[in-house]
A and B are shown apart, each in its own frame.
Chain A
Amino acid sequence: MDKVAIIGIGMTKIEADKRGDTFADMAWEAVNLALADAHMTIAEVDNVVTTSNDFWDGRTISCMAVGDATGAGQGKNTSCVEGDGTFGAFYGLTRILSGAYGTTLVTAHSKGSESVSSLITNAALDPIYDRALGLDMVTACALQARAYMHRHGVKPEDLARVSVKNHGNALRNPLAQLPLKLTVEDVLRSEMIADPLHLLDCSPVSDGCCAIILANEQRARRSARQPVWVTGVSCCADAYYLGDRDLAVPRSLAQAAKRAYAMAGIHDPAREVQVAEVYDAFTYQELMWIEGLGLAEAGGAKDRLERGDFDLEGPLPVNPSGGLLGGHPVIAAGLYRMAEAVKQLRGEAGSYQVDGAKVAVAQGLNGLCGQSHCVWTLDNRS
């Protein structure tokens, strides 16, 4: 693959309800933060990919409604991706690799505060076979949590430790929505939403927008900022119906990770990756995804977590930003993971900086229970 780098990032603060901003206002803020970060003007953006979901936005062709805020309305080629921002970034990357563009601006946004998450995610189910049963994202993921815990003997307190760590990390991240100093007991005593998931096992409903700017090698080397290079990337999907999958096994994530690491020349990710930003929409997901990413053996993440290996001060910090438990703007969530990884590799993460991080992995997903995953390996060395 030709060299492509991330040369600009912009993240709005993640909040429970951004009453002062429409979603186009959020996009405007994130885009201008990314342009300022890259020392670029909108004129230097060759094309635009926006990521959104019509149900979350409550309008059809939602992507076109952020065209003005992203500069696309200035006659640029813009296209959109429905799903997680990591998939939008993949499309942005391939547009550069086509040779047609030197830079791509990628945005992803949503406002969970404006609708009803349970109804929107219920509509992800098949209207003919199973939507009428009333499952939604939380109850679907509770099925997966149980399957994973049953397979590997994972206990509720193992899940709770993820919540304690990530909400604690969020205390250091000024962009996080839900910084909390918690104990395992606090998590276990929080409201049971869908057994085995307590309230504090679930990420919050959030508003936010993230933007990144990708550049080809020539443009990246001219950039005023230190480029963070994309060394590997892969997206892989599993079966649609929950009952067709082994929910306890992150199969498509393992496939995507394997391909991304092969591209990057990473042979032993647990030793070669210094920081991971993963899609912890629920506590159990962080454990499952750590294993799917090859950063722990199957069923082994809970023990490494308990030993402190994934803490900010540990050998392999996971979600030092606080992750999605610290704030979860759906659709934008995976792009935030990439932007947070870029901060780490530039040494700009402030009080949650991982010392000497050179290689990072960032992950996004789409679909109920992690049907499809997108894995990025990033490196700050040219």
Chain B
Amino acid sequence: METERSSVELMVQQSQINVPYSWWAGETASRFFAGLRDEQKILATRCAACSQVFVPPRKTCPQCFKDTAWLEVRPEGELVTFTVARRQLAALPRPVPLIFGLIRLDGATTALLHLIGEVPPEQVRVGMRLKAKFAAERRGGILDIEHFRPA
């Protein structure tokens, strides 16, 4: 039996995949998060071979394929690039306008992705100095830094 395609009522089935995950942070990220939570310090790792300083810290250097060593970097640095989210995209954790930035902390060679606050979006500039503002309540995660604000 043939049916006219145009006569078919096109239906929709609703569903969702909802699987809880527990990510073991591992030794390296755990130490980094403990530094944020307990001491309000930003820890990094350094590759002895190429002198790259990684924030967030990496257990091994992806270029040299060697283990890294720990050091502390200042919670201050320079804004490498940024965007101001204007539409309330589904992944955004806070109401727009929300500012994302890549911040190269003093002493680091890589840049840290984070939020920027306490500044009007139109005053944000590439190259501006920023400082970490730690959250009052810290649980051991990247949001233990509430955001970066003008230094």
Contact = CB atoms under 8 A, between A and B. Distances in A.
A147 B80 contact: yes
Interface string A163-203: 00000000000000000000000000001111111000000
A132 interface: yes
B118 to A, nearest CB: 17
B111 interface: yes
- Kindly state the interface size class of chain B when it binds its partner: 35 or more
A100 interface: no
Contacts of B141: 132
A59 to B, nearest CB: 8
B123 interface: no
B42 interface: no
* Chain A binding surface SS class: mixed
B34 interface: no
A81 to B, nearest CB: 21
Interface of B: 5, 8, 10, 12, 15, 17, 21, 23, 25-26, 29, 54-56, 62, 80-87, 89-94, 98, 100-102, 104, 110-115, 121, 126, 141-143
Contacts, number: 124
A262 B17 CA distance: 45
Contacts of A19: 10, 12
Contacts of B55: 243
Question: By CB atoms of chain A within 10 A, which of B12, B91, B93, B98 has the most?
Answer: B91
B81 A128 contact: no
A146 B82 contact: yes
Contacts of A133: 93, 100, 113-115, 142-143
A194 B86 contact: yes
- Kindly state the interface size class of chain A when it binds its partner: 35 or more
Contacts of A147: 80-81, 102, 126
Interface in A127-181: 127-130, 132-136, 138-139, 142-147, 150
Contacts of A143: 81-83, 100-102
B87 A194 contact: yes
A194 B85 contact: yes
Given A129-B29, A146-B81, A134 B93 contact: yes
Contacts of B21: 127
A252 to B, nearest CB: 13
Contacts of A247: 80-81, 102
A244 interface: yes
A122 B100 CA distance: 13
